[in-house]
A and B are shown apart, each in its own frame.
Chain A
Amino acid sequence: MLLRTLSLGAMLALAPALLAQTPEERGLAIAVEGDARDQGYVDSTANMKMILRNRAGKESVRNVRIKSLEVEGDGDKSLSIFDEPADVKGTTSLTWSHSDKPDEQWLYLPALKRVKRISSKNKSGPFMGSEFAFEDIGSQEVDKYTYKYLRDEEINSVPTFVVERYPTDKNSGYKKQVVWIEQDRYLALKIEFYDRKDSLLKTLEASDFTQYLDKFWRAAKLEMTNHQSGKSTTLEFSGYQFQTGLKSSDFSKNALKKQK
């Protein structure tokens, strides 16, 4: 009886807050909070190991180094330098994410010694043959989606917010994504990707989070499973470094050729 009164009281106390916010507003608020908590990392570098698996369980490995630069008031910039397989060693991609217009992207091909621009529309294709699309790996700007808060839920007894988000870019490969965001640290633990016909296509699970500089949380492992093709890809991150002194000029088209 006491318990019931208490919970009723708690509900009454919360009610005005709940009423004041539509599910859309609440979803957006969660996204904004998550984004805010990652502000100020300045720059970072890391090694990414990509393990591709086909339906029969056969594996293939790729190695990429990643450098990111925080940009005030716009999307982040990033460089991906391919180390393996050997025949694409030295190939480097540069991405400028934007919050208000399509991302820009270039690729440097060492065999041709040329920089090539990549069509801005085609960011939903697979990244290096993996189950990750460019748009899954790229910087997750708040403005790239609209949001809708669904419910609270526990994953492995960790309380999360479940938020649906809808890509604003018409060239996105997805109709929607459902994101499980840890309430405590505002980290996306799990994302379900629904294809254009609104069928579940892939599930991403993030784990092994480590905190850097007492603030920034990064997952050491991302596991993407494609439910339709039976294929999967694991990303393993290591050697995270923050505030290494990277400059904006390191993320220019001209700098692409100089990457090693």
Chain B
Amino acid sequence: MLERYAHWIVRFRWLALLISLLVVGALASGGRFLSLTNDYEVFFGESNPQLAAFKNLQDIYTKNDNALIMLEPKDGVVFSTETLQAITELTDAAWSTPYSTRVDSLSNFQYTYAEEDDLTVEDLIEDPASLSEEELSKIQDTAMAQPLLVNRLLSPAADVTGVNISFELPTENADKVPFEIMDYLDAVLADIESKYPNIETTRTGVVPMNKAFAESSMRDIKTLIPTAFAIILLGFMLLTRSFWGTVGALAVMLMSIAAAMGTAGWMGIVLTPPSANAPTLILTLAVADCVHYLVTFFQQLRSGKDKFSSIRESIRVNFNPIFLTSVTTAIGFLSMNFSDSPPFHDLGTITAIGVFYAFLLSIFFLPALTAVLPIKAPAVRSREKAGFMEKLANFSINYRKVLFPVVGLLIVGLIAMIPRNELNDEFVKYFDDSIEFRQDTDQIGEKLTGMYFVDYSLDSQIESGINTPEYLNQLEAFEQWLEEQPEVLHVNSVSETFRRLNKNMHGDDEAYYKLPEDKELAAQYLLLYEMSLPYGLDLNNQINIDKSATRLTATLRNLSTKDTLAFENRAQEWMTNNTPDLESAGSSPTIMFSHISKRNINSMLTGTVIALVLISLILLVSLRSVKYGLLSLIPNLVPAGMAFGIWAIFNGQVGLSVSVVIAMTLGIVVDDTIHFLSKYLRAKREQGLGTEAAIRYAFTTVGEALLITTIILTAGFMILAQSSFSLNADMGLMTAITICLALFIDFLFLPALLIWLDKGKQDDLTDGAVVPAT
């Protein structure tokens, strides 16, 4: 069957090339449907309960999408004529930002005070040019006394201030929206900075973050993918010493990537920072297929066979191993579909598809290509490396009594470190320091206010219930409790509005700076206040339509996931004990990201187990032995375990992406095990060699190939580790570590293990259930 196929390829090589190009071209044309997402929500699945809760909250009130601009006067004085002019001007311009619905700033803060018997509601700052020194300092005193401003739009030292823009982002053309908004704001800010040289601006918020997601993906695509190509091709050239061979491999890689990304386009997949790196992975994984095919092909050529029979032989020898390793690798990547986070489904699916295409291309297109290229066998290599492998084999065998316990202890020791890893998904830190968004957000976090917040929708369950003293007292108690928490920077609650109105309605008497004690009074204050608010600055973002619930926002310092969850648990406990009527779960992107790793690990557990079972079954069949199939679990699983141990020592922060590493690496490291054990068993079964001799045979036949593929794979994943997006960088680094450890285990631990297991036995073909070859 394979023979006939191999003959067909050589005979109809031009047809095979044409078919390949046409099919790849058709698939790749789907690439035009690809776009880059820029919405942090894509990290959460449709059924994610934290996302659903947050969406629900935004449906009741208003959307939270925002851009926060920090104005920093170089002289450190916010309350100067010039700075106030800049604030007023920026506030006005900000209203014209595309898709904006609201602008909050120092200047349009709705300052309320009693004027004779009337309630005056007006902008805190109007016409700053006309203000005297005295008026400036009066405004400063007023502003510094506003709990709603300080630590939110004004620093306690009055040296920086913020302008917050809220948005209703459209769902159409969503990928262009953050760029459209930020382009507008960039122009406005450049104008402000040139007009007011004393002012420096920085920006953060959901919209800049969404833009950073897209930029981060673009950056990876533009820098990492070409680097990966360059390094891997160079490595390939050095290792195979064949120009035309490298050209062939390049063609396979390019076509695999083009076809896979095109298929993703046809499938309607939208690229995210993780899935935008599928090309690097496909490239890295496709190399191995080409290596296997070309190495055999060159061996045949060197042994004196003509080109066509060499091609046929290489197809015959490699079809099954390449198929097998591609299937296991694809299974590993497909298991990422169990992840709770959709971008990883896409990364897994696209890579699995790419691996499958690479398999097809390397046994269909590559043979046809080699048949038409003026390809020759490169010069025979020195025997140095084979000699090295033999030495390594002897080392592993001779020192097994030392290696077995030492490596064994190392394994146990590292695995014991795993629990020291801490789950952490601080989404701002997904971006490294080279990304402007991260720099700006850190700076704003340091000087003005935090990017992380938690929203609580506190529901009285009855219409107009928020006006009752019972509700307001509990709301205030929770507000005050929150303000005492070390994690909390700022609390925004309507209880403050009620206190202020009560004071204003009593001639600004400080004694009345407290909640109204009567439901009707509270309701009528609110009605009057609402009627006095100008365009866009209403209370719909804080109070629901039937006035049964209000939204309270707690702005947090930059917290780790662990601390965020601890804070939220404490808040829940406090509410149960103190404000049971208002009990509600906190909701926000911070809360969503705080739960995502744990959810992801739980969901990936199923995926990993299924992948493990499938891959082990494939091993059982291909090795035709239950015993070695089970034994293979050790070299397959231990490397990932050790990698997590090493991670605990050097990093200790496990995020969303690292939780998919086990399943993903399983499919890759299993290839080493297949190659090593199958050669070992072949030596025992076909050549009747003893255990030690069989180990030496395995080392000398596949040792070099394993070393080369490990080097290439490590290089590929180390390139991914250079991503400016930490989810990608961590995944790349973790995978590289795992792959290296896998080779380490195969070379230094597996031999000792085999000798120990097969002690005294020369032939183990009779034990265990032998699965017949298929």
Contact = CB atoms under 8 A, between A and B. Distances in A.
A129 B547 contact: yes
B133 to A, nearest CB: 26
Nearest to A196: B95
A52 interface: yes
B121 A119 contact: yes
Contacts of A197: 95-98, 100
A127 interface: yes
A218 to B, nearest CB: 24
B534 A122 contact: yes
B518 to A, nearest CB: 6
Interface string B88-100: 0000000111111
B617 interface: no
A109 B97 contact: no
B62 interface: yes
A55 B100 CA distance: 18
A213 interface: no
Interface in A189-237: 196-197, 199, 228-231
B742 interface: no
Contacts of A112: 505, 521, 524
Contacts of A87: 464, 467, 519-520, 522-524
Interface in B501-548: 505, 518-525, 527-528, 530-540, 543-547
Nearest to B117: A114
Contacts of B56: 56
A199 B101 CA distance: 10
B194 to A, nearest CB: 23
A107 B168 contact: no
B534 to A, nearest CB: 4
A107 B537 CA distance: 20
Given A87-B464, A119-B532, A111 B520 contact: yes
Contacts of A133: 535
B75 interface: no
Given A60-B545, A117-B118, A129 B95 contact: no
A197 B184 CA distance: 12
Contacts of A109: 521, 524-525, 527-528
Given A110-B520, A116-B117, A119-B120, A125 B537 contact: yes
A44 B702 CA distance: 97
A91 interface: yes
A229 B540 contact: yes
B538 A126 contact: yes
Nearest to A172: B535
Contacts of B522: 87
Contacts of A55: 59-60
A52 B538 contact: no
Given A109-B524, A119-B122, A58 B546 contact: yes
A171 interface: yes
Contact of A124 (B119, B463, B535, B540): B535
B519 A52 contact: no
Contact of B545 (A53, A119, A199): A53
B463 A127 contact: no
Interface residues of B, number: 48
Contacts of B62: 229
Interface in A103-142: 105, 107, 109-112, 114, 116-119, 121-122, 124-129, 133-134
A88 B121 contact: no
Contacts of B118: 116-117
Contact of B534 (A82, A125, A228): A125
Nearest to B184: A197
A88 B527 contact: yes
B536 A173 contact: yes
A53 B464 CA distance: 15
Nearest to A106: B118
A88 B101 contact: no
B88 to A, nearest CB: 15
A52 B56 CA distance: 18
Nearest to A51: B545
A12 to B, nearest CB: 45
Given A56-B60, A60-B463, A171 B524 contact: no
Nearest to A126: B538
Nearest to B96: A197
A171 B126 CA distance: 13
Contacts of A91: 524, 527
A118 B528 contact: yes
A14 interface: no
B464 A86 contact: yes
Contacts of B528: 107, 109, 116, 118
Contact of B527 (A52, A86, A107, A171): A107
B546 A60 contact: yes
10 contacts: A52-B545, A59-B545, A82-B527, A87-B520, A88-B520, A107-B527, A107-B531, A109-B527, A124-B536, A231-B540
Interface of B: 56, 59-60, 62, 95-101, 117-122, 168, 463-464, 467, 505, 518-525, 527-528, 530-540, 543-547
Closest 3 CB pairs of A and B: A173-B535, A60-B546, A87-B523
